[in-house]
Amino acid sequence: MTAKFITIEGIEGAGKSTQLTFIERFLSEKGKDVTVTREPGGTDLGEQIRSLLLTPTSTPMAVDTELLLMFAARAEHVQQLIKPALANNTWVISDRFTDATFAYQGGGRGIDQQRISQLADWTLSGLKPDLTFVFDLPVEMGQQRVLKRNQGIDRFEQEKVDFFEKIRACYLDRAEADPKRIKVIDASQSIEDIQIQLSSILQLLV
Ligand code: Z5A
C-alpha cells in the first residue's frame, strides 16, 4: 500500500504534539516507515523561517509577510522532505500544514481565503493530506494547558482569546466542508480516550 500523508491541526494546547507520538507508534507497529515533521519548519531552512515567525517582534509583523513566510517554509518542506519521503514509501505525519494557514492567516488575521488558495495551488502542486485530525477544544482550556506547561510564550501565543475563537471556528468550518479528509477529535477528553478514537480512524487507513 502506498504511503500516506497525515496532518494534525488545532489551536494551541490542543494536544497535537502529545498525540503525534502515539500516531507515530501506531503506524510503526503496523510495519510502516514513518517520518514526523512540523510546520512551520521541518527542514533546516524551514526551521530558520520558523524562528522568524515565532519570535516576538517589537513592531507587529505585516500579515502578508507572515503569510508569505509560512508558504516559503512550506515550499521548502514539500519539495525537500514531504514529497521525497512519500515517493520513498515513507508515511509522513506533520504537526500542522496548509489548513493552519487557512485557519490562522485566513480566519485569525482576516486574509482573503482565495489569496491563500492561490499560494497553496502554486506551492503544493496538488499535494493534499490523506487524513487530517483537527484537535478541537474550548480556547480557554487550550490556553490553560499551555500556561501549565510553563514554557515561554511565542508570537502567536501572545494573541487574545478572540483570535483563537476565529481560528477554531475556521477549522470546524473546513472540517464540515471536507468530512472525508478532516476528522474532528474532541481534545477535551482524556489522553487515553483520544487515543482510542485515533486508533479506530487510523485502522481504516493502514
Ligand atoms: N501557524 C500559522 O499561523 N500558520 C501556519 O500555516 C502554520 C502555523 C503551519 C506554531 O505552531 C505556530 O505557528 C502556531 C500556529 C502558527 N501558533 N500557535 N498558537 P506549533 O504547533 O509549534 O505551536 P502550538 O500550536 O502553540 O503547539 P502547542 O502549544 O505545543 O500545542 P499542542 O502541541 O497542541 O499541545 P501539547 O504540547 O501536546 O499539549 C499541551 C499541554 O497539554 C501539555 O502539557 C500536555 O501534556 C497537555 N495535554 C495534552 N493533551 C491533554 C489531554 N487530553 N488532557 C490533559 N492535558 C493534555
Residue 173: HSE in the Cβ half-sphere, 13 Å Cα cutoff: 12
For position 123, what pLDDT does the model report?
Answer: 96
For position 200, what pLDDT does the model report?
Answer: 97
Contacts of 51 (CB under 8 A, 6+ apart): none
Residue 145 Cα, ligand 1 centroid: separation in angstroms? 9
Given a cut of 90, is residue 152 above it in pLDDT?
no
> 5-205 has which fold?
Rossmann fold (3.40.50)
- 8-37 tens-digit pLDDT: 999 999 999 999 999 999 999 999 999 999
Q: Among 53, 156, 198, say which to mutate for ligand 1: greatest number of ligand atoms within 8 Å of CB.
A: 156
Q: Among 7, 17, 124, say which to mutate for ligand 1: greatest number of ligand atoms within 8 Å of CB.
A: 17
- Average of pLDDT values for 72-77? 98
On whether the CB atoms of residues 143 and 172 are closer than 8 A, the answer is no
Read off the pLDDT band of 116 (50, 70, 90).
Answer: very high
For position 114, what pLDDT does the model report?
Answer: 97
Read off the pLDDT band of 82 (50, 70, 90).
Answer: very high
Domain range annotation of the chain = 5-205
For position 155, what pLDDT does the model report?
Answer: 87
